[in-house]
Amino acid sequence: MDSQKSHVIVLAYPAQGHINPLLQFAKRLASKGLKATLATTYYTVSSIDAPTVGVEPISDGFDEGGFKQASSLDVYLESFKTVGSRTLTELVFKFKASGSPVNCIVYDSMLPWALDVARNLGIYAAVFMTTSASICSMFWQIDLGLLSLPLKPQTATVSLPGLPPLGRCDLPSPMSEPTSQTAYLEAIMEKFHSLNEDDWVFCNSFEDLEIELVKAMRGKWPLVMVGPMVPSAYLDQQIDGDRAYGASLWKPTSSQCLTWLATKPPRSVIYGSFGSMENISAEQVEEIAWGLKASNRPFLWVLKESEKKLPTGFLNSVGETGMVVSWCNQLEVLAHQAIGCFVTHCGWNSTLEGLGLGVPMVCVTERTDQPMNAKFVEDVWKVGVRTKKDEVGIVTREELEKCIRGAMDGESGEEIKRNANKWRELARSAVSVGGTSDMNINEFVVKLLEGKK
């Protein structure tokens, strides 16, 4: 089968933290000679600009505004399953009719029904995990019955193969508070239940990053590491490589940020961002604000609706030292030489971006996989410091300031910087020609080019 006849649809869940790695994967496949089409919902396609891949809409049943229009996550996921299965099938038929048949669907693990679509059409199916392999291994162990939920009240630490001992507060939130996140947990578990039915199981991570787990699980599960999915100009240093994911659900204020960053000394600025779904309480915003100010360093902070959330008089009090924007091109900012530290919620993409660009991190986590990612940042990769919450669940200004100093100053800051450089190099080698992730992608491409399905 020649490359133009090997056509992959890459299906992304319509959220920034999912579209970014899946679009990047589609671009990698296209760069290796496959035809790749990104499919996502009607209300997100217009935000995508990636010339080397096709972009096509499918329906989740809420074409005007998606998830926000649904009464609950259960309702949304159920609708997406029904309407999405039909419209994805129609898309595959449309391509067949136009002489560009699809022979594989790579789908986001949040959309597990795509496996049945591929099976019914008789084409290859590959699931793409947007979290770390360590997170995947926890859900895998639950599915195998080796870890049962809810955890017993007396369980203080969970020990699993290839993972450091995990305290309750390190666990992904559907496990530490299972009753409040039933729909989310069920959606995840549905995928883990059918993991052996996929032709490939890809994970946005790289072998060196989770090497103990890779060793412990070798031959026991089907996970294949293909990450980090960060645009090539930042990682494998292709001068003419990609400088952006090519998808932005909000309008970035990048030129303003870069002009401001250019006025700051190297490695002096704190960049603060809490991902695309942040919903930080007013109390927490206030503590972060005064903690950033107290650190006595310039800071650039991404905060939506800052006019409603920031303490009165805060911006005036910081003047030119601080900049608050509603959205930026995070990669451009993290790659800027003025950035010295990343205050992050530790979403998996942000964590990989911090690692891949060698930026020391301070972790202020909220939920889902973030606490466990932060545990690895501090204890395994040693590239950052985790903040602790007080008795009412807030990271105080004093705590934030202390952790920023720990990540940037003195001996601890030096050690973190050294480790950050080491992980940056390892991330680069994984995706460079001949690296572990690159070779894993090549094997997939070769198989698809052989044809058959």
- Contact footprint for ligand UDX (CB under 6 A): 15-18, 20, 130-131, 273, 275-277, 302, 327-331, 347-350, 353, 368-370
Query: Which distant-in-sequence residues (6+ apart) come within 8 Å of 63 by Cβ?
Result: 41, 42, 43
**Catalytic residue (choose from 7, 60, 108, 242):** 108
Instruction: Quote the Cα angle for 111-128-13, to 5°.
Output: 40
DSSP sequence for 411-423: HHHHHHHHHHHHH
156 φ, ψ (degrees, to nearest 5): -100, -30
Greatest Cα pair distance, the chain, in angstroms, is 65
Least distance CB 266 / ligand UDX (angstroms): 22
128-162 in b/e form (b: 16+ CB < 10 A) is: bbbbbbbbbbbbbbbbeeebeeeeeeeeeebebeb
**Catalytic residue (choose from 7, 18, 336, 345):** 18
Least distance CB 352 / ligand UDX (angstroms): 8
Q: Which residue has the tokens 């009464």?
A: 71
Least distance CB 370 / ligand UDX (angstroms): 6
The token pair at 155 is: 């369980």
312 burial class (0-12, 13-18, 19+ CB within 10 angstroms)? Answer: exposed
Q: Respond yes or no: is residue 18 known to be catalytic.
A: yes
Q: Is 120 helix (H, G, I), strand (E, B) or coil?
A: helix
Least distance CB 104 / ligand UDX (angstroms): 22
Q: Is 51 helix (H, G, I), strand (E, B) or coil?
A: coil
The token pair at 7 is: 């056509």
DSSP H helical ranges for 32-172:
42-45, 73-97, 114-121, 133-143
Least distance CB 345 / ligand UDX (angstroms): 6
Read off the DSSP letter of residue 291: H
Q: Respond yes or no: is residue 108 known to be catalytic.
A: yes
CB of 37 or CB of 344, closer to ligand UDX: 344
Least distance CB 276 / ligand UDX (angstroms): 3
Cβ pair 67, 84 in contact under 8 A: no
Distance of alpha carbon 362 from alpha carbon 384, whole angstroms: 5
Least distance CB 391 / ligand UDX (angstroms): 25
CB of 207 or CB of 366, closer to ligand UDX: 366
CB of 121 or CB of 142, closer to ligand UDX: 142
CB of 3 or CB of 326, closer to ligand UDX: 326
Cβ pair 76, 60 in contact under 8 A: yes
Active site positions, annotated:
18, 108
